[in-house]
Amino acid sequence: MFSPKFRLAALSLSVAVLFVLAASVTALADSHVRIVRLSYIEGGVEVSHGGAQAYQKAMVNLPIAEGMKLKTSDDGRAEVEFEDGSTIHVVPGSEIAFPQLVLRDSGAKASAIEVTKGTAYVNFLGTKNDEFSVQFGGEKVALTNAAHLRIDMGPKSSIALFKGLVNVQTPAGQVELKKNQTLTFEASADAQPKLAKNISQEPFDDWDDQQNEYHTRYAMKSSQSYSPYAYGTSDLSYYGNFFNYPGYGMMWQPFFIGAGWDPFMDGAWMSYPGWGYGWVSAYPWGWTPYHYGSWVFLPGHGWAWQPTGTWTSWYSQPQVLNAPKGFNVPRAPLTGTNTLIVSHGTASTFVGDRLIVRNNSAGLGVPRGELDNMAKLSRKTEQHGMVRETVYQRPAMMNSPEGRMGANYPRGGSSPPGRSESSSRASEPRSEPMHSEPMGGGVGGGMHSAGGAAPHK
């Protein structure tokens, strides 16, 4: 017979083993097939799939997966958008990494970001149960409630808190940081962090604020019930409109489209390690409609997006319904790893301080948040083919889709000469209103209704 003491020890060991096994099962249940969105790029932006893999030019709407890295050149800026609408803004000359992007078995999302160089702004919305941490040097901040902060990583590192209350983990212990305070760390490992009860203004603070304001303003104008996730909501609200169509229910169309437009005219087939090929849309709103729902051709109205179905992390096969005769449904390449550019459409472009807004551009080249009353402007382009819009705070120009992806990639279509995409560089608010004037000689016959009701026949 075993003694009671021995039986107790054996029972304790069994419980410990079961605990470890349970923890292992839970850990194994976490899904690493989770992506977030590269929602905005300007100038030179590159990404790497991690490890020793080389950097390549980035493209808007590129899925960011666990282990990837992102860096900006001296003229580059970028925004990464998370499922709940939280964002990271990356300024020129910066580098960040994504060591963890997982979906817990409980449904909670765990995100770990590392700022390795330069400056990044984090606007965390504080979704319940989600885990969000930012590492910079030997310091780390774990966010549990809504917070807006700036991290600088250089010879000296610092964290400035614009909103919220956070605890910063340092080699010397934990430090509480309150709103409008800055914590600075010297290069020396044994130096104590310095707490300042103020925040020094930096050149890109206004740009960060304006991007956050854009998301707040346009997300409020649109219901999020059409998608399981919030990211992409503000772009759908700004670049298009919802309407109810008999037999299909709630649908969405981008502004500035006509008879010759389809949703796969501009983008790229991109290959990800372990996932194969997936479609990445070049349109500034091109995230949610390519990971959820279906594209439907409505006779007399053109292409529209129907929000329904299951969210797909890697959109390898676009969902297309009721395609018109002669339309070939896009299909991913079966083999290879090269990125294949598809560029059949047109884009709005700048001539001096004038933005030439073209019908069938579907928002490509239209600056984020810079134009007022997009619905009215869309009706003008429908009537005249193109409209010349004065922009007093001109955005910085971006490269063409081919240039963004790298000249060594093969192309799947031809691009008009001078093709470019514009993105917003709103470092200062506009001091004057914008006005537009129609231009004749463009492509007419647009089918898009820019109001809140169904498109016209």
Reference 81, options 121, 45, 108, 42; nearest CA is: 121
Reference 418, options 358, 370, 340; nearest CA is: 358
DSSP 382: H
Q: Which of helix, strand or coil describes residue 348?
A: coil
Rounded-to-10 torsion of CA 370, 376, 377, 379? 150
Determine contact, residues 363/347, Cβ cutoff 8 Å: no
Give Cα separations from 24 to 18, 28, 69, 105 (angstroms).
10, 6, 28, 12
The whole-model pTM stands at 0.82
Confidence (pLDDT) at 179 = 97
Distance in angstroms (rounded) separating the CA atoms of residues 385 and 400: 22
Burial of 324 (0-12, 13-18, 19+ CB in 10 A): exposed
Confidence (pLDDT) at 396 = 55
Q: Write the CATH number of the domain with boundaries 32-203.
A: 2.60.120.1440
Distance in angstroms (rounded) separating the CA atoms of residues 391 and 368: 12
Mean pLDDT by 10 residues, the chain (457 residues): 45 42 48 90 94 90 96 97 97 98 93 98 94 96 96 95 96 93 85 92 96 92 79 95 94 93 94 88 96 94 93 81 91 88 89 89 92 91 89 53 35 31 32 38 34 35
Confidence (pLDDT) at 161 = 98
Token pair listed for 192? 């104590």
- Determine which helix (DSSP H) or strand (DSSP E) holds 16, and give its type and residue range: helix 4-29
Confidence (pLDDT) at 189 = 65
Q: Which of helix, strand or coil describes residue 449?
A: coil
- The neighbour count for residue 291, using CB atoms within 10 Å, is 25
